[in-house]
Amino acid sequence: MPQTLKAVKTPAHSCNVLTLCSRSNPAILTIAHRGFWTHKAENSLASVGAAVAASVEMIEIDTQATADGRLVVIHDETLDRTTTGTGTVSELPFDVVRAARLKAGAGGNAAAITHECVPTLEELLEEARGKVAVNIDTKFARDLPQVMETVLRLGVEDQVLVKTDIDPEASQFEVLDADWFGRIPHMPMFRVRKGRFADDLRRIEALKAPMIEVKFDDLADLLEGRKEMERQDIRLWINTLDVSHCLDYNDTRALSRPDEVWGTLAEAGVGAIQTDEVEAFTGWLKTRASITGRAWAR
C-alpha cells in the first residue's frame, strides 16, 4: 500500500506542502505564476531562483512531453511565444526543443533572448529541491503518470502539489484509484456552484485535499463554504490572474485597490493567492501585517 504523506515540523519558510497548506499555518501563501516570470523567463530555472529570493512559498509551473517522451517545462502547446523555436512541443524531439532559447519575461516578438533553454521537469524540481514548493500543472492528462513517476523517483513528493480538474457530482473520483494517490499531495480544481459549495466540499471529502483551487461567480458562495473547509482542514486557493475571470478580483485592479481585491478575498477565507504581481502582493501582505499586527485568519 502507498505510504500516506504527513506534514512535518519545518522552519517558517517550509517547502513541505502539507505544512504550508494546514490551516494551522496563519500565512496567506503567495503562489508565483509560471515562476517569477516578471523578473526572469517564465517557467525557467532562473525564475525558480527569483521566486526563492522573493521568499514566495510556492511556484506554479507547466509541463508536457516532447515527441520522444521527455517532460519539459513550458506552458504553450508550441515553442513560438516563449522561445526562439517554432512548432508543437509534443510533435518535436527533445533535442529540437532544447536547442531553442527562452525569451525574457512572457516572451513575444519583442522580448529579449536569454541564454536559457527550456528546462526538463527533472531539472526544475532539482532546482527547487529544499527551497520552494512546486505546483505542477500537467498540460495534457496523458502525461500525468510520467509526471508522478518523475516526482516519486526524485523523492520530492513532500514539496510538490499536483492539480487536476474534478467534477464534485461524479459518482466516483478516478484519481482515488491512481497508484500515486496518497503519496503526492493533490489539489482538486472545480467551479463553485451557486449555493452548493458546502455540499460539494462534503462530496469531495474522500479526496482528503490539503488545498482546493476554485473559480467563483459570487463571493457569498466562498463564505458559505468556510465552515466546511475549516472542518476538513482545506486551504482555499484563488487565482487573481487577469485571465482567471473570478469577477473583478484580478491583479490589475489589485495594483490600485489591493484591499478591495486581495483584502476582500482574505476576509472571505482565501489562504493562497496565485498572482502575476508577486512584488505588489508580498508588499501588500507586509503592509497589512504591520498595520494589523496579526496574520489573516481564515
Question: Are residues 166 and 176 in contact, defined by beta-carbon separation less than 8 angstroms?
Answer: no
Neighbouring C-alpha atoms within 13 Å toward the C-beta of 177? 3
**Distances, alpha carbon 65 to alpha carbons 57, 147, 155, 220, 275, in Å:** 26, 9, 20, 40, 26
Site of grid cell 515553442: 79
Q: Which of 13, 33, 115, 245 is catalytic?
A: 33
CB 223 within 8 Å of CB 269: yes
Secondary structure class of 173 (helix, strand, coil): coil
Residues β-bridged to residue 64: 72
d(CA 192, CA 170): 15
Residue 86's region, left for phi above 0, alpha for psi from -120 to 50, else beta, is beta
The DSSP secondary-structure symbol of 97 reads H
Q: Which residues contact 165 (CB under 8 A, 6 or more apart)?
A: 188, 189, 190
The residues, ordered by sequence, that sit 6+ positions from 66 with a Cβ below 8 Å of its Cβ are 72, 89, 90, 92, 93, 94, 97
Is 186 one of the catalytic residues? no
Of the candidates 39, 75, 186, 245, the residue annotated as catalytic is 75
Cβ pair 35, 59 in contact under 8 A: yes
Cell digits for 55? 521568499
Q: Count the Cβ atoms, other than its own, within 10 Å of residue 30.
A: 20
Which H or E element spans position 183? none
Residues facing residue 236 across a β-bridge: 212
Catalytic residues: 33, 75
